[in-house]
Amino acid sequence: MKILLLALTAALASVANDEPVRAFLTTADQQQLLAPSEVSKSANKADAVIRIDPKRQHQRIAGFGAAITEGSAWLIRHGMSEPQRDALMRELFTREGNDGKGLGFELTRLTIGASDFSRRHYSLDDMPPGQTDPELKNFSLNTERADVIPAVKRALALNPKLQVMASPWSAPGWMKTTDSLVQGQLKPEFYGAFARYMVRYVESMRAEGVPIFALTLQNEPHFEPPDYPGMRMTPATRATVVGQHLGPLLKAQGLKTQILEWDHNWDEPWSPLSMLSDATARQYVSGVAWHCYAGDVSAQSQVAQHFPELDVWFTECSGGEWKPQWAETLPWITRNLIIGSTRHGARGVLMWNLALDPQYGPHLGGCKDCRGVVTIDPKSGKVTRNIEYYAFGHASRFVQQGARRIDSEGGEGRKTGLDHVAFTNPDGSTALIVSNSAGAPRRFTVQAPGQRFSYELPASGVVTFTW
């Protein structure tokens, strides 16, 4: 009987190990772009062994995506023919477009009023200099209705699971110390008006058919840019506005929209820690949002250790022509955003602009050489898929909304150059993403329940396995 059981166990293991493993590879020389690749079932000599443990589960994934800025929405709407626009939106927001190879973006971010990637600077309640509107009689979504709302509604029609968050770059100028969208701080006498402005936005967008699942109080609250909308908000100010105004107002209105704290870089974890130390504000905050432009991704875990009940979100990073080399940027994005951010708790990961033109616009002030996930030539509607498209595609195409991050251990570090993260999808499939930041190929073996295979990943390459 014992011999029979051993034989049966071996047979079942053999069957399980014969499950097809699909691999999709992107190389720094661009010869392979999310292209099917072969794995080896042989027990070859390896530089590392990566062990997958699906029983050890972590955060639930909401999705990957990019921001639909006013500039991106205008370009998609006016720089493409209707068939071109439909094909691109289907490719970006479903897994069906582009011959069944769509990215499947399930998360996006909107700007409440203008950012630097808008064709003009505006809020949703602008007033002439010296005039105020505390009752928000002048509030209007007309600018958003022109391009942004149609783009988001099309994305939602293609993918009803798409989750939409929003962030202001500035309060209306009349609420600020500068009486301008540029620079300045929120005046205390307008804390309540600003909270009503945010809630009015949520309610108005819902009426347009665009539910907003989360807000941040202020994009990059420790930065006052000199030539586009921005607003400095200290931790104490954010705590007061959230705890005494915005949080209670959302609750009173019966709105389920979440409030995310911070929405700025990894280099100042003390700031969200300070804001969250206010117990009144803390009760209205559901998560902490992060950007990539300074510091290290491990800051996400530093804050999460103090507030483990809060979700972690990664809400902005931009590629740009300051880092045009695929061999450097492809593994950096994958290592820090796709792998690093999720290993440090992120439920969702967002790039900045969804689409920009060959002149890195439309924009007014701010970044002069930022890349979009795609580049659209408005003269022809031609689409160029950038480094960010392929880095994010290695996750968004294969990691479904509702997936759980699971343990993957072994082989990480400077010695091998390998980084990895694994997920179990709601349909029971597994996705493993591996990046090689080394200057040489790396061979590794993957071990998972009922599964063992080997693979050689080229220098600066990225691969996703699914089974």
pLDDT in tens, 6-49: 343 333 343 345 679 999 999 999 999 999 999 998 877 888 99
Distance, in Å, from the CA atom of 21 to the CA atom of 38, rounded to the nearest integer, reads: 9
- What domains, with CATH codes, occur in the chain? 19-59+406-466 (2.60.40.1180), 62-398 (3.20.20.80)
Task: Write the CB contacts of 184 (distance below 8 Å, at least 6 apart in sequence).
Answer: 173, 176, 177, 178, 224, 231, 232
Residue 330 φ/ψ region, left for φ over 0, alpha for ψ in the -120 to 50 degree band, beta for the rest = alpha
Residue 223 CA, chain-centre distance (Å), reads 20
pLDDT value of residue 414:
74
pLDDT in tens, 314-344: 999 999 999 999 999 999 999 999 999 999 9
pLDDT value of residue 19:
75
The SS3 of residue 426 is: coil
Question: Stretch 409-413: mean pLDDT, rounded?
Answer: 85
pLDDT in tens, 283-298: 999 999 999 999 999 9
Residue 242 scores a pLDDT above 60? yes
pLDDT value of residue 75:
98
The SS3 of residue 130 is: coil
Distance, in Å, from the CA atom of 373 to the CA atom of 360, rounded to the nearest integer, reads: 11
Distance, in Å, from the CA atom of 330 to the CA atom of 369, rounded to the nearest integer, reads: 18
pLDDT value of residue 425:
98
Q: How is residue 369 annotated by DSSP?
A: S
Instruction: Establish whether the linkage from the previous residue to 362 is cis, with ω within 30° of 0.
Output: yes
Question: Stretch 218-245: mean pLDDT, rounded?
Answer: 98
Strands 163-168 and 107-112: parallel
| Residue 229 and residue 265 in contact, taking contact as beta carbons nearer than 8 Å | no
pLDDT in tens, 447-458: 999 999 999 999
431 φ/ψ angles, rounded to the nearest 5 degrees: -125, 130
Question: Stretch 269-289: mean pLDDT, rounded?
Answer: 98
| Residue 422 and residue 21 in contact, taking contact as beta carbons nearer than 8 Å | no
Cα distances (angstroms) measured from residue 451 to each of 39, 43, 214, 394, 446: 12, 12, 39, 21, 8
pLDDT in tens, 348-393: 999 999 999 999 999 999 999 999 999 999 999 999 999 999 999 9
Average pLDDT, the chain: 94
| Residue 195 and residue 244 in contact, taking contact as beta carbons nearer than 8 Å | no
